[in-house]
């Protein structure tokens, strides 16, 4: 377990420092970017809550309100000659609740639906919204997590900037009582978020360890 976490940490540090060296000013840019993403996340969670017939603040609050964690990851995919054989980010669903991603103009992100992979087209100024495991668990499956992966490009460097929103590690997360009942029993166990992460990582075989 520790070993896996260490690999993930090292990769993030390595890629982030390349970015800092190349572009500088990372703190200001990151803070501003994350602030915008936080506002947008709360708006989107508000719309999703209303779509479920819940008060606008329901999903944000179920994630701990202002204690929810926002993590910006910078994925750095160097060009690879044999891009068809090189996986950038292996197929996975995100562990947290929701992720917002400003897509790179270098294509590569794919989503799995109806037993096949679809390329996500780049749309200038669009934001990709990825439903993660916790939003699926909280809504008792009304919103589904999405399996996705990223390919590398043959010639161009690809960088992506997802912001992940997740409950605090010690929060209990499970189907909201408002969304369950006799007709609709809970489909997921309520778990402390950290225990959920540990369980999920333990289930990964080393050979299909996601590269992120």
Ligand X SMILES: O=C(O)CCC(=O)C(=O)O
Contact footprint for Fe ion (CB under 5 A): 94
Q: Which positions from 70 through 89 interact with ligand X, judged by CB under 6 A?
A: 73, 75, 89
Nearest-approach distance from CB 202 to ligand X, in angstroms: 19
Collapsing DSSP to helix, strand or coil, 16 comes out as helix
Strand partners, 92: 148
Q: Which does 197 bind (CB under 5 to 8 A by kind): ligand X, Fe ion, none?
A: none
Nearest-approach distance from CB 122 to Fe ion, in angstroms: 17
Structure tokens, 111: 């989503």
In the bound state, the residue with its beta carbon closest to Fe ion is: 94
Q: Are 89 and 149 in contact (CB under 8 A)?
A: yes
Q: Which does 140 bind (CB under 5 to 8 A by kind): ligand X, Fe ion, none?
A: none
User: Considering the rule CB under 6 A, would residue 137 count as an interface residue with ligand X?
Assistant: no
Q: Pick from 37, 100, 135, 150 the residue near ligand X by CB under 6 A.
A: 150
Kindly write down the DSSP assignment for every residue of 95-152, as one continuous string.
SSSEEEEE--SS--EEEEETTEEEEPPP-TT--EEEE-HHHHHHTTTSS----EEEE-
Enter the DSSP assignment of 178: G
C-alpha 43 chain-centroid distance: 17
C-alpha 41 chain-centroid distance: 12
Strand partners, 72: 163
In the bound state, the residue with its beta carbon closest to ligand X is: 160
- Lookup result for tokens 């408002």: 178
User: Considering the rule CB under 6 A, would residue 160 count as an interface residue with ligand X?
Assistant: yes
Q: Which does 153 bind (CB under 5 to 8 A by kind): ligand X, Fe ion, none?
A: none
Q: Pick from 58, 97, 100, 162 the residue near ligand X by CB under 6 A.
A: 162
Q: Are 169 and 67 in contact (CB under 8 A)?
A: no
Nearest-approach distance from CB 55 to ligand X, in angstroms: 30
User: Considering the rule CB under 6 A, would residue 148 count as an interface residue with ligand X?
Assistant: yes
Q: Which residues bind ligand X (CB under 6 A)?
A: 73, 75, 89, 94, 101, 109, 148, 150, 160, 162, 212
């Amino acid at each position: 377990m520790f070993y896996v976490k260490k690999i993930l940490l090292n990769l993030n540090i390595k890629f982030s420092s390349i970015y800092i060296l190349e572009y500088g000013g990372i703190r200001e840019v990151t803070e501003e970017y994350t602030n915008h993403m936080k506002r947008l996340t709360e708006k989107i969670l508000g719309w999703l809550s209303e779509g479920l017939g819940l008060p606008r603040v329901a999903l944000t609050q179920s994630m701990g309100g202002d204690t929810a964690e926002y993590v910006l990851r910078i994925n750095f995919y160097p060009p690879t000659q044999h891009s068809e054989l090189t996986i950038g980010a292996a197929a996975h669903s995100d562990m947290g609740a929701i992720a917002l991603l400003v897509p790179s103009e270098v294509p590569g992100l794919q989503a799995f639906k109806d037993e096949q992979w679809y390329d996500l087209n780049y749309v200038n100024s669009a934001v990709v919204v990825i439903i993660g495991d916790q939003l699926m668990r909280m809504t008792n499956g009304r919103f589904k997590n999405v399996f996705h992966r990223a390919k590398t490009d043959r010639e161009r460097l690809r960088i992506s900037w997802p912001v992940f929103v997740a409950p605090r590690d010690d929060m209990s997360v499970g189907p909201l009582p408002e969304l369950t009942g006799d007709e609709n029993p809970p489909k997921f166990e309520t778990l402390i978020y950290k225990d959920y992460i540990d369980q999920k990582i333990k289930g990964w075989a080393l050979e299909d360890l996601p590269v992120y």
